[in-house]
């Protein structure tokens, strides 16, 4: 059953069409991806505070 639903031959065309659509409208897709934007912001904030912590640790 799983091999039938997720067979490479049956999903090949759907996958390629989805990628092509995303390439044409990547900016709009990225602005609609709230979760991705939120995760990227959290990652950047965590990196910023980690670097500040390392700077302070190395001072002492």
Place of tokens 């990628």: 19
Q: What is the pLDDT of residue 29?
A: 87
The predicted structure's pLDDT at residue 11: 86
Q: Tell whether pTM > 0.75.
A: no
Residues spanned by the domain of 30:
2-59
- Least confident residue range of 8-12, 24-28, 41-45: 8-12
| Tally of domains in the chain | 1
pLDDT digits (tens, 9 = 90+) for 32-56: 888 888 999 999 999 999 999 999 9
Q: How far is CA 54 from CA 17, 41, 47, 49, in A?
A: 46, 20, 11, 9
């Amino acid at each position: 059953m799983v091999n039938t639903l997720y067979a490479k031959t049956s999903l090949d065309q759907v996958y390629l069409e989805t990628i092509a659509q995303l390439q044409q409208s990547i900016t709009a897709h990225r602005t609609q991806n709230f979760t991705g934007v939120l995760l990227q912001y959290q990652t950047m904030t965590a990196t910023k505070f980690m670097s500040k912590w390392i700077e302070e640790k190395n001072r002492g």
